[in-house]
Amino acid sequence: MAEKPVKIGIVGFGTVGAGVAKIILEKADTIAAKTGLRLQLACAVDLDTTSQRPVTLPDGILTDDINRLLDDDSISIGLELVGGTTIAKDIQLKMITAGKDVVTANKALLAEYGSELFAAAHKNNRCIAFEASCAGSIPIVSALRTSLAANNIQAMYGILNGTCNYILTNMTEKGADFDTVLKEAQQKGYAEADPTLDINGGDSAHKLAILSSLAFGCQISLDDIYVKGIEAISRDDIRFGGEMGYVLKLLAIGQKDIDNNVWLRVHPSFIKNSDRLASVGGPFNAVSVFGDAAGHLMLYGRGAGMMPTASAVVADIIDVALGNSATTFKSLNLKPPAQCNCLIQKIDTLQSRFYIRLMCKDRPGVIAQWSKVLANNKISISGAIQREGRTPDNTVPVVISTHPSPEKNVAAAVEDMAKLESIGAKPVCIRIVDIPED
Amino acid sequence: MAEKPVKIGIVGFGTVGAGVAKIILEKADTIAAKTGLRLQLACAVDLDTTSQRPVTLPDGILTDDINRLLDDDSISIGLELVGGTTIAKDIQLKMITAGKDVVTANKALLAEYGSELFAAAHKNNRCIAFEASCAGSIPIVSALRTSLAANNIQAMYGILNGTCNYILTNMTEKGADFDTVLKEAQQKGYAEADPTLDINGGDSAHKLAILSSLAFGCQISLDDIYVKGIEAISRDDIRFGGEMGYVLKLLAIGQKDIDNNVWLRVHPSFIKNSDRLASVGGPFNAVSVFGDAAGHLMLYGRGAGMMPTASAVVADIIDVALGNSATTFKSLNLKPPAQCNCLIQKIDTLQSRFYIRLMCKDRPGVIAQWSKVLANNKISISGAIQREGRTPDNTVPVVISTHPSPEKNVAAAVEDMAKLESIGAKPVCIRIVDIPED
């Protein structure tokens, strides 16, 4: 089979860019033998052309001039690995207009401006490939778009942020507090210097927006997703939940009921310790998808990092160069919610189970008070633990798990309980997510 | 987007065929909305046109005349769901010659005659799509062929046979013996009336041949694979192994060392109970793949059954109809082992750890005897348990785990130990497989 040369330009020569360059430079022969494609790195564009990188480029490849990419008609694929939502958008649009197909790992950009970028690509008969934007090396985009195309996706539960999972895993295993573990994660490179977008759930929401678009066939906007981060999680609640048989994970969840109501949410979630996602530890990612034909499918792997993400980027390069991304991208029929059969719902219409921790003053009649508030709000209790012993402020933790209850009832009950004179600190309220069993 | 009609003929209208028909008939609109393809079932060919099926076809679709498919030029895709290696081969070749692309779930046929069928397809400019042939709904073919294309695959560990996994899971959880659990599996439909090809490891070997061809870029013949089934597994060994921290699984393993030596094998394997594959229970399948860029990727799901397999078949239909299977099939560069850089090795050149159970006569000097045999064969002991108490024949079980040792040394040692007058029954020898940690 004759080899087909494929010239590639990278914009944004950071960690992932260096990983991609490394694969292209070191594995061109292997990839050619496997695919018939001869990948060639034509240029790597970055404002910083002097810093040391973990890969040595041949002379003349690294440049700060993006026109080297845009003006070279022999370059068919442009990689946007800049990240962020400002100049990255402009770069992708310029690549598309210049006739390049785009490969990107930029979840924030796709989540925010995906429909605009996709429209530009369709108009110019180009495609955007974005496997690397969600869950690193895990082929979840391909699974949802292609492998599960025969399925009505009923639900999707993802651990999509390695930083949060690293922090929660370490809080759980070591009984350490959030700040200590975050600092350690930063030292080890599992958390950014500014970890805001990771720990506040924003990054998971970006990925959920992309994946739920594919799963449900709609254009999902970030506003459609309820987001709560892990900043306020205490090791006490992880421990109390653990005693009830639960493990805390930051889950990104998309679910659809038989009436096509869709709920999209990212929040700390207690899941059964026997669930397959419960043992996903450290910086790993995993996604459980439930389809009406396939049943439960779970994918697990490295969700970030130089080489795992580069692996997904190069898979997309190959897919684009073979012409496959173009056909699947053309058939990606993402409609605005109003035109598709999904009815995107706000979280307050959801039924959920809850873990509630109350700090109760240790005296007669307290149980009667908070249990009456729950009863008034039609919330039924599934389990409750009150331990002997007390805190310095003379309160004792009471931990309650509820049966499925409307979100708004629980919110009202928590507000009412916070007002009780017998309750010390503000009640802590964490959702319990019952992932279907196999 | 205008819809593209895709006419499909099924040959072999059994369980999976009925599942595929169900999806095509019930979900044509959804699939059209997602992919732009309007799937149409033109005919379903089966010698049995009278039995009740779990789906009702429109009049005139079910036929016993395969020429309805072969002679109809408007049918672009033929599904071979007959199974087996006799008439199925003829059917696939006829479909290819008649200008149809082929979608199949037939692992036995591809494992045995894959290179002949692939050559015929290439010659006729057709493709064969076979995602459903391995691990049901799990997109492992697509993952190895496309998503991991940038990786040098170092190892692959698969639970690929649901029947064996169901049996071993139940033997483990209930402490039941093989025959009892097999009977129960047959009653519940998890095992065939004749389960030979499942329990002797043959089915797993078929799938390993296909997957390792993709992973290593070689044409793998069944003769290249060492195969041992689960027929002789006793609940005692599952229990003793469990006490040492191991779980027994039938694993299909492909691994490549840095010198490109490749070992392919299917056998009962003790794996650490903390490994992600250890908790894969019942009829589920899972594959752990280790790539040099992606690291550890694990896929888990339903490995068989009407709808999960049909889900994979329809995914392939869509991929073929979009034209993507053709491009990936063309670039599937599977060379005979002599021409690729793999050096397929026989199992006796492998280093492995072993679990060995000896039934020792309970008297002085016995340990000295068997330990001398191991020492003579340069086998180092990693752990050993001898329990108090004895069996009716006055022997006690001694369970040994070894450090990594050459297969041939262990075989020789077991033979020597069997000859010892102090050893009762033939020693039991089961490989311990150390799957890399994340």
State the distance between the two ends of chain A, measured CA to CA, in whole angstroms. Answer: 44
Contact A146 B139 (CB under 8 A): yes
Q: Could you write out the DSSP letters of every residue in B143-180?
A: IIIIITTTS-EEEEEEE--HHHHHHHHHHHHH---HHH
Query: What's the CATH architecture for B4-129?
Result: 3-Layer(aba) Sandwich (3.40)
Torsion angle in degrees (nearest 10) through CA of B194, B198, B200, B204: 160
Per-residue pLDDT averaged across A380-404, rounded?
89
The answer to whether the beta carbons of residues B389 and B396 sit under 8 Å apart is yes
**Residue B1 confidence class, pLDDT cut points 50, 70, 90:** low
Give the closest of B36, B302, B333 to A295, CB-based. B302
Whole-model pTM: value is 0.96
pLDDT in the model for residue A333: 79
pLDDT in the model for residue B393: 82
Q: Does A368 contact chain B (CB < 8 Å)?
A: no
pLDDT in the model for residue A386: 87
**Chain B: residue nearest A149 by CA?**
B315
Per-residue pLDDT averaged across B78-103, rounded?
97
**Residue B394 confidence class, pLDDT cut points 50, 70, 90:** confident
Q: Which residue has the higher pLDDT, A338 or B320?
A: B320
Strand partners, B155: B255, B290
pLDDT in the model for residue A220: 94
pLDDT in the model for residue A392: 82
Helix, strand, coil share of chain A (percent; to 5)? 40, 25, 35
- Measuring CA to CA, which residue among A406, A386, A409, A408 is closest to residue A397? A386
**Chain A: residue nearest B306 by CA?**
A293
pLDDT in the model for residue B149: 95
**Residue B308 confidence class, pLDDT cut points 50, 70, 90:** very high
Per-residue pLDDT averaged across B109-122, rounded?
97
**Residue A438 confidence class, pLDDT cut points 50, 70, 90:** confident
**Tokens describing residue A262:** 């869709």
Q: Could you write out the DSSP letters of every residue in B376-387?
A: HTT--EEEEEE-
**Burial group, residue B53, by CB count within 10 angstroms (0-12, 13-18, 19+):** middle
The answer to whether the beta carbons of residues B158 and B277 sit under 8 Å apart is no
Interface test with A, best of B1, B31, B35 (most A CBs within 10 A): B35
Q: Catalytic: which of A7, A22, A107, A207?
A: A207
- Measuring CA to CA, which residue among A163, A148, A85 is closest to residue A117? A85
Output the CA angle B330-B333-B335, nearest 5 degrees. Answer: 140
Q: Does B311 contact chain A (CB < 8 Å)?
A: yes
Give the closest of A19, A131, A295 to B308, CB-based. A295
Q: Which of residues 93-122 of A touch B (CB under 8 A)?
A: none
Digit-coded pLDDT (tens) for A29-63: 999 989 999 999 999 999 999 999 999 999 999 99
CA B320 to chain centroid, in Å, comes to 24
Helix or strand holding residue B248 (H, E): strand B246-256
Give the closest of A142, A284, A292 to B438, CB-based. A284
Written in H, E and C, the secondary structure of B325-349 is HHHHHHHCCCECCCCCCCEECCHHH
Give the closest of B36, B324, B333 to A36, CB-based. B333
Measure B304 CA to nearest chain A CA, in Å.
Answer: 10
Per-residue pLDDT averaged across B139-152, rounded?
96
- Measuring CA to CA, which residue among B177, B343, B157, B387 is closest to residue B250? B157
pLDDT in the model for residue A1: 59
Assign domain A140-302+333-345 to a CATH class: alpha beta
Q: Which amino acid is at A222?
A: L
**Tokens describing residue B200:** 């002797």
Q: Which amino acid is at A53?
A: R
Per-residue pLDDT averaged across B83-88, rounded?
96
Q: Does B390 contact chain A (CB < 8 Å)?
A: no
Helix (H, G, I), strand (E, B) or coil at A146: helix
Q: Give A350-432's CATH code, choosing from 3.30.70.260, 3.20.20.70, 3.40.50.12780, 3.40.1010.10.
A: 3.30.70.260
The answer to whether the beta carbons of residues B147 and A324 sit under 8 Å apart is no
In total, chain A counts a number of residues equal to 438
d(Cα B201, Cα B223) in Å, to the nearest integer?
13
pLDDT at B438 exceeding the cut of 90: no
Annotation says A207 is catalytic: yes
Give start-end residues of each CATH 3.30.70.260 domain in chain B: 350-432
pLDDT at B363 exceeding the cut of 90: no
Give start-end residues of each CATH 3.30.360.10 domain in chain B: 140-303+335-347
pLDDT in the model for residue B341: 84
Per-residue pLDDT averaged across B197-223, rounded?
96
Contact B36 A314 (CB under 8 A): no
Contact A333 B294 (CB under 8 A): no
Per-residue pLDDT averaged across A417-422, rounded?
94
- Measuring CA to CA, which residue among A119, A122, A93, A124 is closest to residue A106? A93
Query: Mutual orientation of helices A324-331 and B306-322 as an angle, nearest 10°?
Result: 110
Interface test with B, best of A159, A219, A288, A331 (most B CBs within 10 A): A331
Q: Give B140-303+335-347's CATH code, choosing from 2.40.30.10, 3.30.360.10, 2.60.40.1180, 3.40.50.1860.
A: 3.30.360.10
**Burial group, residue B361, by CB count within 10 angstroms (0-12, 13-18, 19+):** middle
